[in-house]
Structures are given as C-alpha cells and as structure tokens.
Chain A
Amino acid sequence: MNKYISVMLKKYKTGLLLLLTGFLLMNGLGAKALAMKKDTTKEDEEVFFEVNANNKNGIFKDDNTVGYKVKLKSTYKENQDGTLTYDVLTDDGKPLSTNQFPIHLKYHARESYGLTIPKKPAGFYRLVVKINTTSNDDTLRRVFGVSPEKIHSTLHRPDDFDAFWKATLDSLKKVPPQYNIIEHKELSTKDKKVYLVEMRSYGNVLIRGWLVIPTFGKSFPVHYRVPGYGVAMHPDMDNDDFIAFDINVRGSGNSQDDMKLNTEIYSTTGIEDRDTYIYRGAIMDCIRGLDFIASHANLGIDTKRIYIEGGSQGGMLGIITTALDTRVRALTVQVPLYSDIRDTYNISASYDEQVFPFKMFRRYKASHPGYTWDEFYKVFDYYDPQNFAPLVKCPVLMGIGLLDLFCPPRCSISMFNHLGTDKKEFIAVANTTHEVNFSYFMLQNNWLREQLRVP
C-alpha cells in the first residue's frame, strides 16, 4: 500500500502541487472571476462599459501623461457603431479638453481603448467618458489626481485662533467629568466586556461613550473612534487587540439628553457665532473622551498608546482632537469632512445638484436673509480642519475616495499637506465616493500595528 501511494505521489506530485496552488490562487481571484462570469451570462442587450486608470489608485505624476483604459463589450446582436468621447475638466468643472474617436462593436466581441491625457499640473481632474452607439448611450465619470503632494492651499486662520481654543480647553477643564462607568452584561461576551461611560463635558452637557475591553490580556492600546455625521456609535466588538472606545458627541447617538439635533440642522446649529457653534462643544466632547481614556489606566488602558480614528465628520473631529491634545499617538482619518472649507464651497458650486455639507449651509443661508458667506467663514475658519493640521504632530494615515462629492479630494489633500508631521500617508481609492474600501482598512490595520508596535 505504501509503495502504491509512493508511486502515485511520485507520478502525480507535481500535478497535485500545481492543482493545489492553482486552487488557492483561484480563491484570491475568485470574486473577480465570478463577476466576469456574470457579465458574460447576461442575456439583456447592452454595452458593458468599464473605465479604469492605468495607475490603480488614479494618482499620476505631473511629469508624465495620464492613462486610462476603456473596455467595451456589446451583447447587441447588431453591430454597434458610434463614438467614444472623453472630456477632461478641472475638479471645479472647468472644461480643459475634449476628444472623440469612432468605435465599432461586434456582437460579444470585447474592445479595449487606451486614453492618453497630456501632462497636467498638480491637482485633481474630472474625466467624463461617453459612448454613443447605434442603440446605446452611456457615461462614466472618473477623477484622477496629479502630484497631490504639490497641492497647496491658503490657511485662513484667525489671529486669535490659538487663544480661542486655549480658552475653550480651559473652560472644559473647569467642568468636573463625573465619570460613571456602567457595565452592560447583556452586551458583553466571554471575550469582551462592554461598559457604558457617562461623563460631563463642555457646558456641563452629558455625553456617553461605549467602552469595550477584551478579556484576553491585561493591557491594551486604545482605539478611540469619533463619530461621523449623524452616526450613532455602538460598542465595537471587532477589536481583539485594542480596547475600543466609541464616543457619541452631543446631540448624537445616546448623547441627546441635553440636546436633540437631527442631521438636517446639526451642522448649522449655532453657526452664526463661533462661541455657540455646535462643533465647539462636539470637539470638546472628543477631548473629554480622551480625558476619560487617559485617566483610566486601571481598566487596562495603555494610556501611552491611544489612537483616534474617524470618518467624514469623524475625520474632522479626529484631526482637531489630535491637534489640540498631544496624548494621541496615531491618527487615521477617512474622507475628512469640512477640510479647506472655502475650496469645498467652490467645488460644490459646480455640482448639478447640491450635496452635503454645502446643501445644508446653502439652505441655511437661503432661509436667513442677510446672512453672508463672509459671516459663515468668519465662524467656520475656527473649525476648518486644515487650520488645525499644522498642530498635528503624530503619524497620520488618511484615506480618500476620488469620486467623493462631500469631501472633494483636493480639499482633503490640501489639509493633508498642512499636517505638521512627516509621518503621514494617504491612500486614494479610485472608484469610491464618500468612502474608502476593504483594502484601505486592511492597510490601516497593518499601519496601526506598525505605529503602535502591536504584534
């Protein structure tokens, strides 16, 4: 029997190895293969249309051309003749060039076309690709970046910016936090203990956060998450190597005892006065959360390894909290909201339809006769993340989506370029809007372990 096995294995071992390797490779590529298969099995008549940057992240250098590949496949039984047009515009909608060439598509034949766009100066650009054929019209929009590290923006930092925030922090210090830590056994598992943490923040407002402590270990770094716009934070049960603390700032999630605000009005609440603007308190809520973390080493918190993460509004809160408080060891932000607010306004002006956040600001302005953009900026310059960026000294990882209309890539990158640390990286995801992708979060996980020396 042994001999038989030996002979068989000898005879086929190379084949078996290749088979196994192939199977495992297929696992990695399985999803893509499945997607392609779906395309080819559709019976409806249509033209499949893909536009992808030659550089996967859609970022190019200003000393080189920009390349895209267009893939087409027709399932129309009759030949499709027509044109492919591609327009290049600035990211605020000014046309730069337009090109067109004929296309001819046979039934089920795949065609591929390369688009070469001449060198461009540093910035972000829109690419609009249109196909018009016998029976089909379609348009795809892309955004690409050119040498983003060279993008520069002007800071509009009020003269008393530092004094304003110092006074705000001093006011917070005068508020006794009155921490109340309540164990929630019904939410806990054998691997994680869940606590609701109540505390008093700026203006004596009651806020809450969720603390989750892994049971497997004695001391952990902290993953401190600050909330996105209108997002109610819940216990984060996915962190095995970190204590997770998720805070709900005033007026959101379970921190609405003293004020209830919906997403329609949150960003404009108190907008006409820098002292009463909602974000003054919200930012202090994040600092208060940091106070809680830093003062509770007895819970197993490694107070020397606190990192903050936030997406969208959470990105803005993360940047500002890190700028105002040096206890933060690392920061990760995705699609940081309100960055370079003036350029965000300029770019949003080119949209066919208004979107968050300027949708709210414009509506507020329209409903408050006499209110001007100058007055808006006079307050918002105290809250624009890019004005805080030079104060951020710890390592930063930022993710952006190139198709993001809420946080235009140029604005996020402008803020990024002002960060006061050399240990900063950004990841551009070519075809996402106001979000990043799975790959970004996998990298973020590795990045954090690298920065915080987590094994």
Chain B
Amino acid sequence: MKNLYPVFLLIILVCSARNARAGFPIGKYRGLVIPSFNYYTSKDTWDSQGNKIKGKPGTGFSSYSAGLYFGYGITRRLDVIVNLTAPLQHSSYRNDKDSLITMQSSGFGDMQVGLSYNLINFNYTSYFSVVASGIVPLYSNTNKDVALGYGIGGADIKFTYTGSIGSTFLKGCYFNTEVGARRYFDKQGPDVLIYTASLGFGLNKRNQMSFEGSGQNSYSINKTFNQNLSVNRDYSFIKGAVNYGHTFTRRFYVFATGFYTIAGRNTGLGYGGSVQTIFKF
C-alpha cells in the first residue's frame, strides 16, 4: 500500500529558503544559494471538520528533507529562482487488522523553477512583486511506498509585498506578505490557495527574529477523507512559525525555524523545523 503525504511536502517546500529572502529583489548580478535541512513530524490529524483526531499508538509520519534554493538577479527587477527538495519519509499506520505497517521512501521531490518580478517599489524600501513558477516532479510514485508528492506537474503564481518599516512603533522591523494560488495539472487538482504574513526585527547587528503565520487551502473535487492521508487533496491548514537568523559574515547567514500547525482540516497536526544556510554572492 502506498501513502501520499503531499500536504507535508508542501509545508516543507514552502518553508525552505523563504525566510532568508522574503520578497526582496535579489539584485542584478547577485545571487543566493541556500542549502537547507527540514524536518516535520505528525502523529495526530485534523479531520474534515477540523476536529483533532488522536493518532493510534505507533502511527505517524515524519519527513527529513534536504533543500537547495538558488536565486539570481537577472535585472534589478527580475530574479530567476530554482528550489529543489530531496525528502526521506517515514510513515506508520495501522491496517484493518490493527497491525502496524511502517514504510519509508526517499529521493528527489518536486522542483520549482520560476521568475520573480518586482512590479512596484516604494522608495526602494518596500516591494510589490509577482512570482510565477512551475512545479516539476523529479520522481515517479509507481515504485515508492510513501509517495514523494502528487507526482504531477503544476504551476503557481503569487504576489508578495515585502519591506522594511520606517515609521510607526514598528520602526526597524521588516515584513513579508504573500498571497498566491497553485494548480496541479490533474483532473482532481488540487488547486491551492497559499498565504503568508510575517514580521521580523533585528535583535542586534548580527541576530534577527521573525514571527510568521501562513496557511494553505487546497480544493479538489475529491473531498473524501481517509485516516490514511494519502488520498486527501481537499485540505487546509494554518501554521505558525518562529524564525531566528544569525549573520556569520556578510556573505553567510544561518536561519533556524520552528513551526507548528495550529489549525487544519484533512491534514496532519504536526510540527517541525528547518535550518537554512544562506550564501550570498
């Protein structure tokens, strides 16, 4: 029996590398390389009504994922971005006879390739941009016990508004807001609404912290709910995250993130974290 956990993968995909860059243009002739390590685990679930369902003993899901984000400024407004993940996933569930079944799969996940274009800048302190990208699965689920994603191509578009705050009591803080939509090219979709808002501030010259709320609403004609999340394409979740960043050199930063799914529907109730190392050139 195969298990699909696309929701977890989406959480990881969205998490990796975004904190470091937010929606600021990278800048012409400059670039970013962000290797990351991401972890997610879930034992309990949210059902179709948003009720918390306690997982059976021994059941659960966990994912260890390596990520690599690359961004390069082609012009002052236009960046090319590539995001790649390679997950290792464990899944444990109980079958009809209440036997514990444990499975594991690993490999390359989805690759995102896209362009970010700054539509408007406000005195070069805040930026309104559009990001369009394609999703290319680098795997086939036919030979995987725990599928590494939907296994189908997709595309997304999102609008970002990012900047630093120069007035009000939040002076010195920075913010990032994103709203977007993703479509997978399959009869059952899903179509996913993605949104994020974060607020960060510097603790001192080398350390910074940010708080983030984000979520996804995924819509599909397939609305069935199964304890085995593999078949669920119609779901939603809201996630809260805390990020901490440290500047080691002017070209090397590290961000650590912890997150928790605070609400959801047809999805896992879990938590995780990531470590992103940022190399600027």
Q: A and B bound?
A: yes
Q: Does B167 lie at the interface of the complex (its beta carbon under 8 Å from any beta carbon of A)?
A: yes
Q: How many residue-residue contacts, CB under 8 A, span A and B?
A: 91
Please classify how large the interface on chain A is, using the bins under 10, 10 to 19, 20 to 34, 35 or more: 20 to 34
Please classify how large the interface on chain B is, using the bins under 10, 10 to 19, 20 to 34, 35 or more: 35 or more
Q: Does B249 lie at the interface of the complex (its beta carbon under 8 Å from any beta carbon of A)?
A: yes
Residues of A within 8 A of B179 (CB): 17, 21
Q: Does B2 lie at the interface of the complex (its beta carbon under 8 Å from any beta carbon of A)?
A: no
Residues of A within 8 A of B215 (CB): 13
> Which chain A residue lies CB-closest to B250?
A217
Q: Does A24 lie at the interface of the complex (its beta carbon under 8 Å from any beta carbon of B)?
A: yes
Stretch touching chain B among A3-11, A141-149, A305-313: A3-11
Question: In the complex the two chains form, what is the Cα distance from A191 to B247 in whole Å?
Answer: 14
Which of A2, A3, A6, A442 has a CB less than 8 Å from the CB of B125? Answer: A442
Residues of B within 8 A of A2 (CB): 52, 262-263
> Which chain B residue lies CB-closest to A437?
B123
| A1-42 to B contact mask, C-beta < 8 Å, 1/0 | 011011101100100010011001101101100000000000
B124 touches A443 (CB 8 A): yes
Which of A20, A21, A27 has a CB less than 8 Å from the CB of B170? Answer: A27
Question: In the complex the two chains form, what is the Cα distance from A443 to B28 in whole Å?
Answer: 12
Q: Does A101 lie at the interface of the complex (its beta carbon under 8 Å from any beta carbon of B)?
A: no
Q: Does A370 lie at the interface of the complex (its beta carbon under 8 Å from any beta carbon of B)?
A: no
Contact flag A216-B205 (CB < 8 Å), given A30-B167, A455-B251? yes
Of listed A6, A10, A17, A21, residue having the most chain B CB within 10 A: A6
Residues of A within 8 A of B165 (CB): 24, 27
Question: In the complex the two chains form, what is the Cα distance from A450 to B29 in whole Å?
Answer: 6
> Which chain A residue lies CB-closest to B214?
A17
Contact flag A28-B163 (CB < 8 Å), given A20-B177, A455-B280? yes
Q: Does B264 lie at the interface of the complex (its beta carbon under 8 Å from any beta carbon of A)?
A: yes
Question: In the complex the two chains form, what is the Cα distance from A409 to B238 in whole Å?
Answer: 55
Nearest first, the 7 closest Cβ-Cβ pairs linking A and B are A442-B124, A455-B280, A6-B263, A439-B123, A450-B28, A20-B197, A6-B50
8 further interface pairs, Cβ-Cβ under 8 Å (given A24-B175, A27-B163): A3-B51, A9-B262, A17-B179, A24-B177, A28-B125, A442-B124, A445-B124, A453-B281
21 A-B pairs with C-beta separation under 8 A: A6-B262, A6-B263, A9-B238, A9-B262, A10-B236, A13-B215, A24-B161, A25-B161, A27-B167, A28-B125, A216-B250, A217-B250, A442-B123, A442-B124, A446-B76, A449-B30, A450-B28, A450-B29, A450-B76, A453-B281, A455-B30
